[in-house]
């Protein structure tokens, strides 16, 4: 019985993945792939930060967006910044 439930769960997961994959544009697909490539601790930190952002009230979301935008701007324009994409490295 457990094997049948596991197979059913796997089939359901595959179906959900196909639906999700078909709804993503190229940019979203690249982002999703980049998240999957992160080390587990960084991937978990990303997921936790995203959850906190999604659950935050709108005024906190604005503050979080500004904070992250400033952080990214410093990474891109700082002394070590370059013109490569932070997701794919190109």
Q: Residue 70 is encoded by which pair of tokens?
A: 């400033």
Nearest-angstrom CA–CA distance, 39 and 10? 24
Nearest-angstrom CA–CA distance, 24 and 14? 16
Give every CB contact of residue 21 below 8 A, 6+ residues apart in sequence.
Answer: 29
Q: What is the pLDDT along the chain (90 residues), one digit of tens a residue?
A: 466 776 777 777 777 777 777 777 888 888 888 998 999 999 999 999 899 989 999 989 998 888 888 888 877 776 555 566 666 666
Nearest-angstrom CA–CA distance, 13 and 88? 27
Residue ranges per structural domain of the chain? 1-37, 39-80
The pLDDT value recorded for residue 45 is 92
3 state DSSP class of 56: coil
The pLDDT value recorded for residue 16 is 73
- 29 with 21: CB under 8 angstroms? yes
pTM, two decimals, is: 0.57
Nearest-angstrom CA–CA distance, 67 and 74? 11
């Amino acid at each position: 019985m457990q094997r049948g439930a596991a197979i059913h769960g796997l089939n359901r997961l595959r179906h959900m993945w196909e639906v999700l994959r078909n709804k993503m544009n190229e940019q979203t697909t690249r982002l999703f792939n980049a998240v999957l490539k992160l080390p587990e601790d960084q991937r978990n930190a990303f997921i936790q930060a995203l959850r906190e952002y999604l659950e935050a009230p709108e005024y906190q979301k604005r503050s979080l967006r500004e904070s992250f935008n400033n952080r990214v701007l410093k990474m891109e324009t700082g002394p070590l910044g370059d013109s490569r994409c932070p997701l794919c490295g190109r």
